[in-house]
Amino acid sequence: MWRRVASLSSFISSSNSSFLAQAACRLNIWESLTTGIAQQAKGVIVPKEKTPFITFVLGGPGSGKGTQCIKIVETFGFRHLSAGDLLRREIASNSADGAMILNTIKEGKIVPSEVTVKLIQKEMELSENHKFLIDGFPRTEENRIAFEQIIGVEPNVVLFFDCPEEEMVKRVLNRNQGRVDDNLETIRKRLKVFEALNLPVINYYSQRGKLYKINAIGTVDEIFEQVHPVFRAFEQVVG
C-alpha cells in the first residue's frame, strides 16, 4: 500500500540535494493540507486556505454527475477532478499503466485503486485550489480505504446521483463521445459492477452523515436545484 509520499519517491531516491530540498518542501505543504482536516475536527482553528475541502461525486455512468460538476465549478469555484478523465488521459499517454487501464475498462472491471489514487493525488498536489470535486471515485470499499489511507483525509461531502438503470443506458448511448466504454455490452457490465460494489460505499458515508442523495431525473437545472443548497450550506466554512 502506498504512503502519502508515494508521489515524491522519484525525488527522494535521487542523490541530488536540490531534488531532496524540493521533495521536502512539497511534503511539508501536503502535510499542512492533510493535517488541517484532522486539526479542524479537534477544534483547532487552521487557515481556511490550507484546509482541503473534498467532495466525492458518485453515480453510475450516465447519471449526469459530470454535467452537475461543471455547474458546481461555475457556481462555487471548485477544482473538478474526474477519475474517468484522468484514467483516459493516462491511456492516451501510451504508458504501461495506460495499457493496463485500457484493458481493464474494456473488460468492464475496476481499475486498481492505487493507480487511480496516484493520479488524483498528483492533480491535488499541483492545484492551487483547496476545494476539490472528485468525480466517479471511490467506486468500491477498497477504493475508499485506499484513498483515505494514501491521502490521509476523509471527504467532507459525498454526493450520490441516483438514476434508474435504463435512463443511464439511454444517456450513455446518446452522448456518442466515441469512448471505448460507450457501447451497450460494456455499459451493462459497468452498471452491474457499479451496483454490486458502490452500495457499501454509499451506505458507509450515509452512516457517517456525509451523504447527500440527489434525484438525477429531470433537466440539468432541476437537478442542480437539489445540489445548490448542499454547497451553499458550506460556503462560509469553505470560502
Q: How far apart are CA 230 and CA 239, in angstroms?
A: 14
- The verdict on whether residue 34 carries a ligand-binding annotation is no
- The verdict on whether residue 64 carries a ligand-binding annotation is yes
CATH of the domain at 233: 3.40.50.300
pLDDT of residue 182: 60
Q: How many domains does the chain have?
A: 1
pLDDT of residue 172: 86
pLDDT of residue 49: 53
Q: How far apart are CA 68 and CA 238, in angstroms?
A: 19
- The verdict on whether residue 218 carries a ligand-binding annotation is yes
pLDDT of residue 218: 94
DSSP assignments along 5-59, one per residue: TGGGHHHHT---HHHHHHHHHHHHHHHHHHHHHHHHHTT----GGGS-EEEEEEE
Handedness of CA 31, 89, 75, 222 (dihedral sign): negative
- The verdict on whether residue 152 carries a ligand-binding annotation is no
The pTM is what?
0.70
- The verdict on whether residue 109 carries a ligand-binding annotation is yes
- The verdict on whether residue 62 carries a ligand-binding annotation is yes
Q: Grid cell 454535467 — which residue? A: 67
Give the burial class of 82: count Cβ atoms within 10 A of its Cβ; 0-12 exposed, 13-18 middle, 19 or more buried. Answer: buried
Residue 82, strand partner residues? 135
- The verdict on whether residue 108 carries a ligand-binding annotation is no
pLDDT of residue 105: 84
- The verdict on whether residue 143 carries a ligand-binding annotation is yes
- The verdict on whether residue 175 carries a ligand-binding annotation is yes
- The verdict on whether residue 136 carries a ligand-binding annotation is yes
pLDDT of residue 214: 97
Q: How far apart are CA 12 and CA 25, in angstroms?
A: 12
- The verdict on whether residue 59 carries a ligand-binding annotation is no
State which residues form the domain around 165: 2-238
- The verdict on whether residue 190 carries a ligand-binding annotation is yes
- The verdict on whether residue 63 carries a ligand-binding annotation is yes
- In this structure, the number of other CB atoms found within 10 A of the CB of residue 13 comes to 10
Which residues of the chain, if any, have pLDDT below 70? 1-50, 176-182, 239
- The verdict on whether residue 110 carries a ligand-binding annotation is yes
Alpha carbon of 135 to those of 61, 64, 84, 163, 173: distances in Å?
Answer: 11, 11, 8, 16, 20
pLDDT of residue 239: 66
Dump pLDDT digits (tens) for 31-77.
444 444 444 444 443 344 568 899 999 998 889 998 999 999 999 99
- The verdict on whether residue 65 carries a ligand-binding annotation is yes
Q: How far apart are CA 194 and CA 128, in angstroms?
A: 32
- The verdict on whether residue 84 carries a ligand-binding annotation is no
